[in-house]
Amino acid sequence: MNAMSTRGLASIAVTVFLITAAEQLQAGDITLQVGITGNNSLEGLQDPVAVAQIPEVSELLQAIADKPRSADHIEQSLGDSKVDLALLVELDLLKPWDGGYAISFNYLTLEDHHLLVTTLAPFAESLARSYRDRWPEFESVFSAYDIESVDMGELAYAVIGAMSLDWDGLDLTADKNLRITADNLRGDRDFLIWAKEQSSEINARELYWGSHNTVVDGIRFTTFGDHYSLPRLGLPDLLWSTNNRVANIDAAPRTLRVSVYKALAPYYQDDFLGDAGTMLSAMREGALTIDSISRLTGIGKERTEAILTLLMELQYVKRDNDSYVLAAPYFSFADKPMIDAARKLSWLLMDEWLELNYSTVQANLDRLTAQKYGVPYPQLFTEIWHYLFGLTNKALVTSGHFADPYAEERVSKGMFPFVFSADLLELRTELKH
């Protein structure tokens, strides 16, 4: 799941990519994960996501992904689902192809996943090499961060791996018209639909490509990592897990469950994150005792101690004698010059690499299911870029330039958390699951 929230639900100028558990459909041994990039206000049979989630449609899409099917086969497969072939064509899920009908949107099969991982690994290694070649410059930039208790490898992972390769990389590829986004999509629809087949055969371990985000009181809490080790023991993920439990009270009617969630969530979610963010912000200035944190933040000593204990278990902070210091990166506005310098250099490296490799990558992926059936390559490149930078992050972890999310001492494997003032960078991209 990937979402962002703000206290009071204030407007955020970021397109949110949202997947819920309800969007996982079981069809035989394969789960079809369906989602969008953009904003979708459509409902019922006019919503392609809702239609793709109908079991008969889900199974049909998997069959058509294997090979185009005739109109008769499609109508028989849809049975009594209230969906017909004309609707699937109208929703751009299917299109006429060679006397039958084929997939008409970004659809990844299990075979596509394997093709992407194996084909893109050497390209990702070449991109990682361009970072290693300039690493002394990055080290010089990061030396401005004066919190010795924060590992340089975690700092680099957050700034280069998440902020730059993920978020800036999506902006760069959109600016260069290398990928179709919800913003430059033709027609009335302001979202792109995609589907991915999931099964035990798919291994997303060490594909570091997903950020989970929440903003409260101007402070953004982020976890960034793979989607092999879930759920994450970090913020906001821990609170999302709590939401699920609060919203699923045993034997309670739906209206009561919704009422309980709405009444309690502001206290254990926004109020807690507001206090935690204030405390981490104070600790950005250096080691602090419980008494000094309580005094600086105005948070009661008992509550301060309870929050610090949790933050320590989640590896955001650690003890230093009688004081507490940051363990995970926290970036204040004072760190903006450092972050901007690192992002500028990284942007240049990505730009140069794309100029040299974009067309070659495309030529090597002509066997992708959607590509075979004429779905425009730029419409597929959002997902392709995620594989590229996810594998690049893996390569930089392997070479020791990034910290290892699977290190033995990590409480939550497969990710690192970081926190920063939300106004440090303007996010235009879709935050990807």
- pLDDT value, residue 370: 96
- Six token digits for residue 10: 């204030």
Helix (H) or strand (E) holding 267: none
- pLDDT value, residue 189: 75
Polymer length in residues for the chain: 433
CA dist 315 and 336 (Å) reads 24
Instruction: Please provide the distance, in angstroms rounded to a whole number, between the alpha carbons at the two ends of the chain.
Output: 6
* Per-residue pLDDT in tens (0 to 9) along the chain, 433 residues: 333 433 322 222 222 333 333 333 344 478 899 988 878 888 999 999 999 999 999 999 999 999 999 999 999 999 999 999 999 999 999 999 999 999 999 999 999 999 999 999 999 999 999 999 999 999 999 999 999 999 999 999 999 999 999 999 999 999 999 998 877 766 667 888 999 998 877 789 999 999 999 999 999 999 999 999 999 999 999 999 988 887 777 778 888 888 888 898 889 999 999 999 999 999 999 999 999 999 999 999 999 999 999 999 999 999 999 999 999 999 999 999 999 999 999 999 999 999 999 999 999 999 999 999 999 999 999 999 999 999 999 999 999 999 999 999 999 999 999 999 999 987 666 554 3
Q: Say if CB 212 and CB 223 are below 8 A apart.
A: yes
Q: Mind spelling out the 3-state secondary structure of 344-386?
A: HHHHHHHHHHHHHHHHHHHHHCCCCHHHHCCCCHHHHHHHHHH
CA dist 399 and 404 (Å) reads 10
CA dist 311 and 234 (Å) reads 9
- pLDDT value, residue 429: 60
Angle at the Cα of 49 (from 46 to 50), degrees rounded to 5? 65
Report the SS3 class of residue 195: strand
CA dist 145 and 104 (Å) reads 48
The one-character DSSP state at 70 is -
Q: Return the number of other C-beta atoms located less than 10 Å from residue 374's C-beta.
A: 12
- pLDDT value, residue 19: 34
Report the SS3 class of residue 160: helix
Output the CA–CA distances (angstroms, integers) from residue 309 to 282, 317, 412, in the order listed: 16, 9, 16
Chain centroid offset of residue 93 CA: 24
Cβ neighbors of 244 (< 8 A, separation 6 or more) are none
Cβ neighbors of 33 (< 8 A, separation 6 or more) are 19, 23, 24, 195, 196, 197, 198
Which position has the token pair 């003890």?
319
- pLDDT value, residue 104: 96
CA dist 326 and 284 (Å) reads 7
Chain centroid offset of residue 406 CA: 18
- Six token digits for residue 415: 């990710």
CA dist 262 and 258 (Å) reads 6
187-191 LR contacts (CB < 8 Å, sep 24+): 189/38, 190/38, 190/39, 190/40, 191/36, 191/37, 191/38, 191/39, 191/40
- Six token digits for residue 84: 């017909």
- pLDDT value, residue 428: 66
Q: Say if CB 58 and CB 79 are below 8 A apart.
A: no
- By the 10 Å C-beta count (0-12 exposed, 13-18 middle, 19+ buried), 337 is classed as exposed
Alpha helices in 230-271 (DSSP H): 237-246, 254-265
- pLDDT value, residue 249: 79
- pLDDT value, residue 250: 75
Q: Which of 127, 243, 162, 238 is nearest to 416 (CA)?
A: 162
Which position has the token pair 């309980």?
260
